[in-house]
Structure 1
C-alpha cells in the first residue's frame, strides 16, 4: 500500500528532515569544540590519568547514533519498521473490535 502525500505534507516532511540534519551538525560542532577543551583540562590537571578518552568515546558513540538517525541509516527502528508496527497495531485493534 503506497501512501500519497500532498505537496504541503511532503514539504513539511522535508522541512522536518532538514531540521533533524541541522541538529546533528550542531551536535557535531559542539563535540568538536568541547572535546579539545576537555583534553587540555585533562593534561593541565592530571596528566598521569587520561580521562578525556571517556568523553571522546562516550560522546562519540552518541554522535554516531545521532548521525545514523539523522541520515536514515539506522539499521532498525526506521520508517519501514514504524509502518509495519502501525499496521500491526491497527490490525490488532480491528481483530479486537470484531470479537467484541
Structure 2
C-alpha cells in the first residue's frame, strides 16, 4: 500500500483510515463554523444597512422605544455563534482530546 504524502505514516491501514476520518470531521466542523460566521456577517450587515438607510418600520422597537431593531438579532445570533465556536474549539483543541482520552482510560481501568 502506497503512503499518501498528505498524511503522516500510521502503523497500519486501520490507524490511517481512523486518523483520516477524525481529521475530516474536524475540518468539516471548522468549515461549518466559518460558513455560520459568513452568513452572520452578511445578514447582520444587511439588517444594519436597512436600519440606517431606510425608515424604521412601525412595528420596530426603535419607533416605539428607541431600541434599534437589528440589535436583538445581532446579539442573540452572536451568542449562538459564540457557543458554536466554543464547541468547535473544544472538538479541535488537544486539551479536549486529551481529556477524552484520560476519561476513556479511567473508565476502562475501573472494570
Q: Select which of 32, 41, 59 maps to 1:32.
A: 41
Structure 2: runs of 5 or more not aligned: 1-10
Tell me which residue corresponds to 1:58.
76
Larger-Rg structure: 2
Structure 1: runs of 5 or more not aligned: 95-100
Secondary structure in 1 matching 2:67: coil
Task: Note the alpha carbon deviations across 1:1-42, whole angstroms, 9 max, x for none.
Answer: xxx771111111111111111100110011011112333259
> Matched residues in 2 for 1:51 and 1:58: separation?
12
TM-score (norm 2): 0.59
Tell me which residue corresponds to 2:4.
none
Matched pairs, number: 89
Question: Aligned in 2, Cα 1:57/1:34: closer, same or farther, shift over 3 Å?
Answer: same
> Matched residues in 2 for 1:53 and 1:59: separation?
10
TM-score (norm 1): 0.64
Asked which structure has the greater RCO (Cα within 8 Å, sep 6+), the reply is: 1
Q: Select which of 19, 25, 31 maps to 2:28.
A: 19
Aligned-residue RMSD, C-alpha = 3.1
